Amino acid sequence: MPRLLATAADEVRSLARLGTLAATVAGADEPERLRLTGGAYSVVYPVVYTGLTQGMERRRGHPACAVSVRHLTDDCLDRFHDDVEAVVHDVVRRATAPIDNLDAWICGLINSATVNGHRRRRGEIGALQRPRAPKWLVDGLGGDRWLVHLAVQMLNWVGNPVTAGTNVWPVDSWTMLRCRFTGDWDAAADVRHDIEAVLRVMRTKREWYERYVEGPLGHKHVPVPRYAPECPAGDQDTPALSLVDIGERDDLYMRELAHLAMTAMRTRLRAGEDPATVVAEVIAVAFGDGAVPALDGGPRLSDTAGDHVGRILRDQGRIRDIVAAVLAVVEDL
């Protein structure tokens, strides 16, 4: 009697050796297709990490992210999952001939698959898949090489899921790019003026602008600042980008606050401080009545007076449960 396959990943490898993986996935019903795709994911993700992500994170200057998948930060992990998904997409469609060494075959597929996946994701939100400046835009910018280059950067940026802090555009990095591109390191010109110049020309083709710039830009997840902006009245240095409702803004704020609290607790616990003291103090600062107000200065917590948090901090049983949970998370990181 043939040995039963232990996992969906084993079955994926077996089907690949037989040359029937793509046909089997294409002909499967939904539950079976999901099972085999999950098996392909198990095979693909370690290959993508070692063959692409690890080196990329080193080049980005993220040594911790280059240690293992478990060490990837949120943004890097999102990019990793996008790349794995793109490779799985191609594996279950292109494995039409016998493949003896599936891992090696996947290595040869990574670059084309991730590029195609990137283009598909851009296309799904309406962004140009291969950003180029059309002739009318080049003419409208007077053929200025830097402004045309900036326009292409902007068209690429709107289809990129990453954000620029509380700004719409990555002004700081583009300021450095401008210096390198023009060779003028002494110029104090604000790149915001260049961005506005490009936008003015783009807006002359309203339908094109809404389709390829404004529409894709609206798909970005807006980050929430930890502290209320302290700008004088009439100060326009912090542009507004209200693309989500207040509920989503609250959710983003609370996630960031929880991440900061966990980071603070992990740092203090690894320094040898008393767990109960650390947990109580960090929770009080982050979520108690002394918590910093968010965004517009208004409370972002349902317990605006801090009474619920205060009751938790006075309940030693609850504190012990929280300490145990925090220690388990810290130990797992």
Q: How far apart are CA 36 and CA 25, in angstroms?
A: 7
C-alpha torsion 37→39→42→48, nearest 10: -50
**32: amino acid identity, one letter:** E
Collapsing DSSP states into helix, strand and coil, what is residue 159? coil
Per-residue pLDDT of the chain (333 residues; tens, 9 = 90+): 344 446 889 999 999 999 999 999 999 998 898 899 989 999 999 999 999 999 988 887 888 888 888 888 877 887 888 889 889 999 999 999 999 999 999 999 998 888 888 777 777 777 787 888 999 999 999 999 999 999 998 998 888 776 656 677 888 778 877 877 877 665 545 788 899 999 999 999 999 998 888 888 877 665 544 444 444 444 444 444 444 455 555 655 666 667 667 777 777 777 777 888 888 777 776 666 544 444 444 444 444 444 556 677 677 777 788 888 777 766 654
- Eight-state DSSP code of residue 294: B
For residue 318, give the nearest of 276, 278, 259, 287 by alpha carbon: 276
What is the 3-class SS of 237-258, one letter each residue?
A: CCCCCCCCCHHHHHHHHHHHHH
- Tokens read off for 246: 């207040």
Q: Taking a C-beta distance cutoff of 8 angstroms, is the pair 329, 269 a contact?
A: no
For residue 48, give the nearest of 87, 98, 4 by alpha carbon: 87
Task: Give whole-number Cα distances, 316 to 33, 60, 269, 282, in Å.
Answer: 49, 44, 19, 15
Q: How far apart are CA 182 and CA 189, in angstroms?
A: 12
Phi, psi values for residue 298, rounded to 5°: -85, 160
Task: Give whole-number Cα distances, 132 to 138, 142, 218, in Å.
Answer: 10, 16, 20
